[in-house]
Amino acid sequence: MTEMHPGLTTLVVPTLGRPSLRVLLNALAAQTVPMESPVILVDDRPDPADPLPLGDVELEVRVVRSGGAGPAAARNRGWRAAHTPWVSFLDDDIVPVPDWYEALLEDIESVPAEVMGTQGQLSVPLPTGRRPTDWERSTAGLEGALWISADLTVRRAALAAVGGFDERFRRAYREDVDLALRITQRLGGIELGSRYVSHPPRPSGFWASVRSQAGNADDMLMLRLHGPEWHRLSAAPYGRRWLHVAIAGSGVVALLATLTGRRRLARLAGATWAAGTAEFAARRILPGPRDRDEVARMVVTSAAIPFAAAWHTARGLWRHRDVQLWRGLPDLVLFDRDGTLIRDVPYNGDPAKVELVPEAAEAVDLLRARGVPVGIVTNQSGIARGLITKDAAEAVNDRVADLLGPFAVTEMCPHADGDGCDCRKPEPGMVLPACEKVAADPERTVVIGDTAADVEAARAAGAVGILVPNAATDPSEPEAAPLVASSLADAVELALSPLDLWSAGSAR
């Protein structure tokens, strides 16, 4: 890992370590204008035993891991680790043309303030000397697609505002269109840029077209999230989904009618299924190379695809029957200090007495691993009462940071109850400045603490509060708190479960 340098944009590449990754990195290293932007590779292998095969690529590369959660989660991990105004997403199987980086910078600098993103243009090189296969033609369809993340650059502030990519899209399919719809409908447009990348078709197995029907479930998620107009809004083709459902339905009816002795219905339904399957196979065979292997693949998979499409459509309708718009992970998680992260020693000014509570290190590390900034908001009335000095209280804060790692922000109130300040919890005067310092939206901020004052400070700032009771917590406080966790680990798990967090927080 090499030291990163700031720039206009950060390149984020989710990868499973395919051989094409090195081709991409070599193409970036060979740009006509030297690469000055940091490159973040998000290793999404579920259990990467070995480092990514980067070879001797002459680029400044940082590798982070996302644990096999899918490309949407990997891209989120990447942009959260970026600190540039723009984030440029590339897939690991594309090849930028030699002047791509120069054109990217020009695209970014030319967009007006109201534009939230710029999309690269994509070309799919098809073979010469023969007709393309069905899989190659399918890949070529990407050339006219809107908003595909193979080459998509977005303002980081826009990603933060909408919560990034929806991690319910576990495949590299529709997650980019969903993101773009949320951005363009709420914030501003995404323009087509002047830069180009090449997307060579990957080798495919015999059943690749059948496996790809899992995308129908993602289409049903799009339907639930954006309504029936989503195809028109994103210029996405409607495809043959409902025709596939009808063909599969005819096949099922033919089978059931045969089993129940209804021969006439069986013949009619069987003929319908056979005609639909034959038409579909012919549609796929005729434009292709028509060699023996391709014809065999088309015949077999054309019989299987309607059933796979119908199954995944039904699965998606059921699984996504009750969904809400994605809001993503918090912009910031703020912890109370005493009694939450460390043992509560009243009016402690001695760093030697600092002792972490169980799970504190694990909880903070987990948030950082997901790219969520963490901070501290702490009442220290002992300063106003003359029991400790401000320097001593800050020394304790420094010791906490020594044990848990540096915090993005630390806010401390030195006042006592009767001082009338606006920073002592339950007032919001520490939460709001903390949000401002790290450019976090208060409504996308979480405060975790062990008293009602922590929860009320969050509420007053418009943030979400999570109470983690301990032996010193008043027994009446958990009943009044909107969100209660049994442990610090459970509180962080809730903070990292956006669908549960924001729905519960909206009811506060």
Q: What secondary structure letter does DSSP report for 78?
A: H
* One domain for residues 314 and 379: no
Identify whether 91 is a catalytic site residue: no
Residue 222 forms part of a structural domain: yes
Model confidence pLDDT, tens digit, residues 85-108: 999 999 999 999 999 999 999 999
Which residues form the domain of 246? 205-324
Final residue belonging to a domain, choices 324, 348, 377: 324
Look-up: residue for tokens 């009771």? 469
Beta strands in 182-267 (DSSP E): 189-198
* One domain for residues 293 and 146: no
Integer Rg of the chain from CA: 27
Identify whether 178 is a catalytic site residue: no
| 338, 398, 417, 422: the active-site residue | 338
Residue 4 forms part of a structural domain: no
Q: 456: domain CATH number?
A: 3.40.50.1000
Residue 166 forms part of a structural domain: yes
* One domain for residues 80 and 188: yes
Whats the size of the chain, residue-wise?
A: 508
* One domain for residues 228 and 194: no
* One domain for residues 124 and 191: yes
Final residue belonging to a domain, choices 304, 324, 344: 324
Model confidence pLDDT, tens digit, residues 150-199: 999 999 999 999 999 999 999 888 999 999 999 999 999 999 999 999 99
Q: Evaluate whether 167 touches 76 at the Cβ level (below 8 Å).
A: yes
CA distance 364 to 401: 11
Q: Evaluate whether 107 touches 88 at the Cβ level (below 8 Å).
A: no
pLDDT tens per residue across all 508 residues of the chain: 333 334 899 999 999 988 899 999 999 999 999 998 999 999 999 888 788 878 777 888 999 988 888 999 999 999 999 989 999 999 999 999 999 999 999 999 999 999 999 999 999 999 998 999 999 999 998 898 889 999 999 999 999 999 999 999 998 889 999 999 999 999 999 999 999 999 999 888 999 999 999 999 999 999 999 999 999 999 888 889 999 999 999 999 999 999 999 999 999 999 999 999 999 999 999 999 999 999 999 999 999 999 999 999 999 999 999 888 898 999 999 999 999 999 999 999 999 999 999 999 999 999 998 889 999 999 999 999 999 999 999 999 999 999 999 999 999 999 998 888 999 999 999 999 999 999 899 999 999 999 999 999 999 999 999 999 998 888 888 888 889 999 999 999 999 988 788 776 554 4
* One domain for residues 231 and 318: yes
Query: Beta strand 151-155 with 86-90: parallel, antiparallel or unpaired?
Result: antiparallel
* One domain for residues 346 and 292: no
Q: How far is CA 372 from the centre of its chain?
A: 12
CA distance 492 to 144: 42
Residue 143 forms part of a structural domain: yes
Alpha-carbon distances, residue 195 vs 39, 101, 132 (angstroms): 18, 8, 25
* One domain for residues 460 and 473: yes
Q: How many helices (H) and strands (E) does the chain have?
A: 19, 13
Q: How many domains does the chain have?
A: 3
* One domain for residues 168 and 231: no
Q: Evaluate whether 320 touches 224 at the Cβ level (below 8 Å).
A: yes
Query: Beta strand 115-123 with 151-155: parallel, antiparallel or unpaired?
Result: antiparallel
Tokens of residue 445, six digits: 């901020």
Residue 120 forms part of a structural domain: yes
Final residue belonging to a domain, choices 257, 289, 324: 324
What residues have CB less than 8 Å from 360, skipping those under 6 apart? 341, 342, 404, 488
* One domain for residues 432 and 469: yes
Residue 1 forms part of a structural domain: no
DSSP 46-70: SS--S----TT--S-EEEEE-TT--
Residue 187 CB neighbours (<10 A): 18
* One domain for residues 209 and 199: no
CA distance 222 to 240: 16
* One domain for residues 19 and 159: yes
Tokens of residue 8, six digits: 């206009």
For residue 426, cis peptide bond before it (omega within 30 degrees of 0)? yes
Q: 162: domain CATH number?
A: 3.90.550.10
What residues have CB less than 8 Å from 492, skipping those under 6 apart? 333, 363, 366, 367, 448
Residue 369 forms part of a structural domain: yes
| 218, 336, 450, 454: the active-site residue | 336
Residue 106 forms part of a structural domain: yes
CA distance 221 to 239: 16
